[in-house]
Amino acid sequence: MEQRQTMSLQGENGITIRNNTSDSLHGKISIALSALFIFSSFFLSARETDSVAYPNFKVDGTLKNKFEYAYKTNMSRFSVRNSRIGVSGDINPYSAYRVQLELSNEGKFSVLDLSGTLKPLERLSLTLGQTSIPLFNSYIVSPGEMMFANRAFLGKYFLSTRDLGFLAKYNFPLGAVPAKIEFGLFNGNTINDPVWKKNMSYGGRIELGSMQGIRMTAKIYDYPNNDTTHFLFYGADLRYEKENWKVETEILKRKSKTEFHTDMLSYYLQGAYVIPIRTKLFEFVKPAVRWDAIDERMDVDGFDVNRLTAGIGFGFKRERFSSILRLDYEWYQVNHKMDIFASNEEMDSDKITLELLFTF
């Protein structure tokens, strides 16, 4: 009988550093914040003493706090799901940089982005360092852009969203339609781990349209990690946004090229509508709904796990700052137990999540 082994891939943050004591965590956070302060102060001084716009910088951040209650086990918890701070900017018209740190992802500290970008042509950018791979949409995996408190299955259980490597992007008009192509070459491991590799990961994506109106992409990514783990990912997505509503759908397939792992297939369909209001705390109400599913048996009995998420958010948005208080309910239909949900019973339990998200 063919033997298969299961694997739990890291999510958005890849390899992280687990601290043994709170002192070590505080020390790393202090060092990281000090480095960012010195870095940003240098560029601020440069701008104040120079009449040109270079170098420049922008500080951004995300703070995501959650309360969850799982019906299956009658258990609950509070957590700081994400606390990110980043700096990005331009050295001159032809080069840019990006640094982003995760101060606490459920108690773990990690470095997310460390990259430099050259722009030799008007529509061409070349990025080297630790950056996003050309596979996931930011509005599915980035905490500050997600429509729900928890990521869709395909944004959480397939692959780390970042790696060490090289990424090229080229924007061009296709008639009246804006288009973009991306190609990347990466270590094919995880972030913060510069391993030596014979076979690197590579892949690309083509995008048609813009975030306002209709947009579609198709992508493929080859991921040879080691002798027992080699995946080919491919998929497509489609979204439409106009004024105060949007709808998005995506499908992604993971094909195992070894006998040690199973294939995996996942999709989602989600939408949201923004209703303007005027109160002391909020400027809008945003109801949202999502249906997503994931499967690894690839049989005719349907997807192994299905999930319906319904939520409502109350928020406000300014040019540099936004906030949303979100309440989500997740209903799971489990047709076949999957190992990716085996770490605790709460993972595939019906649950209520209350989230407070700040972005700047």
Amino acid code (one letter) for 25: L
Asked whether residue 20 carries a pLDDT value surpassing 90, the answer given is no
- 89, 163, 211, 302, 340 from 11: Cα distances, Å: 27, 12, 25, 25, 11
Q: Is residue 154 part of a domain?
A: yes
Q: Is residue 4 part of a domain?
A: no
Q: Is residue 8 part of a domain?
A: no
Eight-class DSSP state of 340? G
- Cα 260 → chain centroid: 27
Per the rule left: phi > 0, alpha: psi between -120 and 50, beta: everything else, 231 is beta
Q: Is residue 27 part of a domain?
A: yes
Per the structure, the complete domain to which residue 144 belongs is given by: 22-359
CATH code for the domain of 337: 2.40.160.10
Please name the residues in contact with 337: beta carbons below 8 A apart, sequence gap of 6 or more.
304
Q: Is residue 5 part of a domain?
A: no
pLDDT in tens, 229-258: 999 999 999 999 999 999 999 999 999 999
Looking at residue 48, its pLDDT comes to 43
pLDDT in tens, 177-202: 999 999 999 999 888 899 999 999 99
With helix as H, strand as E and coil as C, how does 261-286 read? CCCEEEEEEEEEECEECCCCCCCEEE
pTM of the entire predicted model: 0.85
Q: Is residue 15 part of a domain?
A: no
Label residues 201-230 b or e (16+ Cβ within 10 Å = b). Answer: bbbbbbbebeeeeebebebbbbbbbeeebb
> Could you count the other beta carbons within 10 Å of the beta carbon of residue 165?
21
Q: Is residue 12 part of a domain?
A: no
Q: Assess contact for 343 and 106: CB atoms under 8 A.
A: no
Say how many domains are in the chain: 1
Eight-class DSSP state of 161? S
Q: Is residue 11 part of a domain?
A: no
